[in-house]
Amino acid sequence: MNLFLYLDRDSPVHRLDPRTKLFLMLGSFAVAVLFFAPTPLLLLLGVLLVYGALGRALGNLRRIWVLLLSIAAVSIVSWSIFAGGSTPLVWRATREGFLYGIGAAVKIVSMIISGLVFLSTTKTEEIVLGLIRLRVPFQAAFAFSLAIRMVPTIIGTAVTVTEAQRSRGLDTESGGPLARLRTYIPLLVPIFLHTLRNTDQLAKALESRGFGARRERTSLLTIGFQARDVVALALGTMTVGVFVAARFAW
């Protein structure tokens, strides 16, 4: 089971400098935060889907579509009911609330997809290198990559522990919330202790690889701005600019 999002492919987006992709992602976040109405946000989502298709990254959507759909559903339903408004739709839901809910759903989904495209097209090491070039200290940038690295390890441990306890008769799937909470103790204790031990091992292994031995570090990977980065940044800036202008000028 591969839990990393990165897709080892060759695409125009893969070839961009990680900093470019980082800026594009932040730009899309900014646009998403600026708007509340569904129309411009749907437009943003469209742009992001084109970007993701260019990066051949949309295959990863298959892995999170359940998550995206449930976020959207929860958002639309709850805003429809609780946002208030003057035009009744059905029961307590209002037309204003419904539209606001759609906007909020598209906003979150857009931001997740934007992050997904970034992680699907950029190696963790490239992200670290990009962050270092942006003057983030190596230790901090590396901590970020280590966090990403630990996710699959912890999930793997969790799967094994769950199987082990289920084979002892633990029922993790039925019962009320309180009963369920109680069934988590036999799962959480071994997962936590195992992860702790693993972290200790990781620290020793890092030291023996000379981690932190020198102030100046070299890198086998190279990154650098190319013509394509200039084009991408220009297009990105323009797009963000149009959105911002639309928000404030019209």
Partner 1 sequence: MIRLDDVSFRYRVGKEPALREVTCHIRPGELVGLLGRSGSGRSTLAATLNGTIPHLVRGDLTGRVRIDGEDIRAKRPRDLADRIGFVFQDFEAQLFSTDVSLEVAFGPENLGVDRAEIARRVERCLRMVHLSHLGHKAPAALSGGQKQRLALASILALEPRILVLDEPTSDLDPAGRRELLDVIRSLRQAGDLTLLMIDPETDEMGWADRLIVLDGGRIAVDGSPAALWDRADELDALGVKGFTLASLGRRLGLTERWPDAQSAADAIRRGGWQPVAGAAERLGAADVACGDGETLLEVENLIHRYPDGTEALGGVSCAIRRGEFVAILGQNGSGKTTLVKHLNGILTPTTGEIRLAGRSLRGQPATLLSRRVGLVFQNPDHQIFAERVWDEVAFGPRLQGLSEADVRRRVEEALDAVGLADLGDMDPFILTKGSRQRVAVASTLATKPDVIILDEPTTGLDYRELQGMMALIQRLNAAGHTIVIITHAMDIAAAYARRVILMQGGRILRDGPTRDVFADEACIGPTGLTPPPVVQVGNRLGIPALTLDELVSGLTRDVGAQGRGGAEASPGPRASDIGPGTARS
**Interface with partner 1 (CB under 8 A):** 1-4, 6, 8, 123-125, 145-146, 149, 152-153, 157, 160-161, 163-171, 185-187, 189-190, 193-194, 197-198, 201-214, 216-222
Closer residue to partner 1, CB minimum distance, 135 or 168: 168
Give me the least distance between CB of 102 and partner 1, in Å please. 32
Centroid of chain to Cα 57:
13
CA–CA separation, 21 and 44 (whole Å): 16
Give me the least distance between CB of 178 and partner 1, in Å please. 17
Closer residue to partner 1, CB minimum distance, 73 or 205: 205
Closer residue to partner 1, CB minimum distance, 85 or 190: 190
Helix (H) or strand (E) segment spanning residue 231: helix 227-248
CA–CA separation, 128 and 141 (whole Å): 5
Give me the least distance between CB of 123 and partner 1, in Å please. 5
Give me the least distance between CB of 111 and partner 1, in Å please. 24
CA–CA separation, 96 and 164 (whole Å): 50
Closer residue to partner 1, CB minimum distance, 37 or 189: 189
Tokens, residue 42 = 């749907």
Angle at 238 between CA 116 and CA 129, to 5 degrees: 45
CA–CA separation, 243 and 236 (whole Å): 11
Contact of 23 with 118, CB cutoff 8 Å = no
Closer residue to partner 1, CB minimum distance, 149 or 180: 149
Closer residue to partner 1, CB minimum distance, 173 or 250: 173
Give me the least distance between CB of 43 and partner 1, in Å please. 34
Give me the least distance between CB of 186 and partner 1, in Å please. 5
CA–CA separation, 136 and 19 (whole Å): 12
